[in-house]
Amino acid sequence: MAERLERTQSAGTQLIGRVIVYGLLIAFALYYLMPLFVMITTSVKTLAEIRTGNLLSLPSTITMEPWVKAWGSACTGVDCTGLKGNFMNSVSFVVPAVIISTLIGAFNGYVLTMWRFKGSDLMFSLLLVGCFIPFQVVLLPMAQTLGSLGIANSITGLIFVHVVYGLAFTTLFFRNFYVSVPAELTKAARIDGAGFFTIFFRIILPLSPPIIVVCVIWQFTQIWNDFLFGVVFSSGQRQPITVALNNLVNTSTGVKEYNVDMAAAIIAGLPTLLVYIVAGKYFLRGLTAGAVKG
């Protein structure tokens, strides 16, 4: 579209236009990168240098001390064992929650498109609402329920919560993907006598890698970055990394160690950032599918 617009302009205005466009784009790129730059440089400066320098100055000496402290000995509330335990906590509930919710979502999507029955559309609409509710509205009952199930403040409890409230999204992803799979494919298989699971594993699953990637990335990002469920349903040593980071930054006893704060923030953000760098295309696809449709 843009190329056609330009043909009507003279060479001079075109050049000026290009300069302005690129200038703006680069300025904005710097603006978006600035916080990341500040985080990284701050995290390797000494406290003395932070006090004498400024936000954008480069570190004159690089120290890894803040990173070591953020990982192993910074105080996140009562105990001072750094983020390593919380990082592992996050891993240990994010991985199962992502796998379980994706699996169930795949089966749900399969049924909702290939094995529709009376009421299955209604069910889908009922489920869709789950994508929108503000989770504040389920927190109090869920806290009670987890308590009476005996899984309050446990990794199991967090897996449970994330699976339950992730299902709406994963089902939506797979349903919208399978809708575009030609029905003839499964019809033919059914005539040949293939059953529910045979069709799923032999025909549908081999078609699914793209949507599985999208779904896994979406769920991973959502659950890793979650703060609300983590802060309400866990405490102390069981807390996920986002909650621990927030505690670390906001417990102000003694000198404020900004470099440790920044190292901790990068540690907390690194897994999702890596996923984004490695699979950005799928990340965006999930974002638009999950958000526009959901």
Partner 1 sequence: MNPPQAASNLALTRPRKSLADYAEAALPKIVLGPTLIVALIFIYGFIVWTGWLSFTESRLLPRYELAGVVQYINLFANERWWTALKNLAIFGGLFIFCCLALGLLLAILLDQRIRAEGFLRSIYLYPMALSFIVTGTAWKWILNPGLGIQNLVRQWGFESFTFEWIVTPGMSIYTVVIAGAWQSSGFVMALFLAGLRGIDDSIIKAAQVDGAGPVRIYASIVIPSLRPVFFSSLIILAHIAIKSFDLVMALTGGGPGFSSDLPATFMYTFAFNRNQIGLGAASAMMMLATVMAIIVPMIYSETRRHRRG
Give me the helices (H) in 226-257, please.
228-233, 241-250
- Among 2, 78, 191, 255, interactor with partner 1 by CB under 8 A: 2
Q: Other C-beta atoms within 10 Å of 278: how many?
A: 11
Residues 14-33 that bind partner 1 (CB under 8 A): 18, 21-22, 24-25, 28-29, 31-33
Cα separation, 211 vs 176, in Å, equals 10
Q: Which amino acid is at 11?
A: A
Give the contacts of 79 (CB within 8 A, at least 6 positions apart).
236, 237
- Among 97, 172, 216, 268, interactor with partner 1 by CB under 8 A: 268
Cα separation, 156 vs 159, in Å, equals 5
132 binds partner 1 (CB under 8 A): yes
284 binds partner 1 (CB under 8 A): yes
**Closest distance of CB 50 from partner 1, Å:** 6
**Closest distance of CB 27 from partner 1, Å:** 10
123 binds partner 1 (CB under 8 A): yes
Q: Which amino acid is at 71?
A: W
- What phi-psi label fits residue 118: left (phi over 0), alpha (psi between -120 and 50 degrees) or beta? beta
Residues 30-49 that bind partner 1 (CB under 8 A): 31-36, 38-39, 42
Stretch that binds partner 1, among 61-69, 76-84, 92-100, 220-228 (CB under 8 A): 220-228
Cα separation, 113 vs 270, in Å, equals 37
142 binds partner 1 (CB under 8 A): yes
**Closest distance of CB 72 from partner 1, Å:** 19
